[in-house]
A and B are shown apart, each in its own frame.
Chain A
Amino acid sequence: VSAAAAHDEL
């Protein structure tokens, strides 16, 4: 889930 908070999507 760590990648989730990066918000690299629109």
Chain B
Amino acid sequence: MNLFRLMGDVSHVLAVFILLAKIWRTRSAAGISGRSQILFTIVYLARYMDLFFSFISLYNTVMKLLFISASCATVYLIYFKFRATYDGNHDTFRIEFVLVPSLLLAFIFHYSMSFFELAWSFSIFLEAVAILPQLFMVTKTGEAENITSHYLFALGSYRALYILNWIYRYYTEGHFDPIAVCAGIVQTILYCDFFYLYVTKVLQGRKLQVLP
């Protein structure tokens, strides 16, 4: 554990809770992509199956359970409890376009040809692109509410901080995980455009609007 990874994890947890709290307190899922949230739930379930047979630390176990339960709760709020407020008309990104390539990539790049390792690789590739339905929705509606922007900023920062953590770990312990690093870089690049808008608009008190 180093400061970069800790900050990355804090940012990740913050993102998850910002989103849950926003939906709960406004009693609305407007502007939130249910499809992205389903993809994140698949990511956590596929990656954290190791909960049952490998113990890393209490910290890891608690975080894994937290991500699985929070993402399931988010999907439940969007598709069941506050379904009437969910903006399905604008949430039209075809998720098979990210599910199928992630699965194919997992069959090509993995650390061993076992079910759990393939699921792990699949989850890493899927996580990199799971936000696409949400970004697509923001582009389609042309704007995002400020809390949604804070959520996206915290979620994007998490993988960017992990990149610093990987650089640090490479120099201090010789640790190098090429699959996670490549996917993590792609994931962070996807947020770059949003980061720019966030800094130039949201942080200056304006609403995030995308040019047509």
Residues in chain A within 8 A of chain B (CB atoms):
1, 3-5, 7-10
B165: A residues at CB distance < 8 A: 9
A8 touches B176 (CB 8 A): no
B64 touches A4 (CB 8 A): no
Q: Which of B79-87, B144-152, B177-185 contacts A (4 or more CB under 8 A)?
A: B177-185
Alpha-carbon gap, A9 to B174, bound state (A): 15
Report the interface size class on chain B. Answer: 20 to 34
A10 touches B9 (CB 8 A): yes
Residues in chain B within 8 A of chain A (CB atoms):
5, 9, 12, 50, 54, 56, 60, 63-64, 67, 111-112, 117, 120, 162, 165, 173-180
With known contacts A1-B176, A3-B173, A3-B175, A8–B60 Cβ distance under 8 A: yes
B178 touches A9 (CB 8 A): no
With known contacts A9-B162, A9-B180, A3–B174 Cβ distance under 8 A: yes
Alpha-carbon gap, A4 to B178, bound state (A): 8
A4 touches B9 (CB 8 A): no
B120 touches A7 (CB 8 A): yes
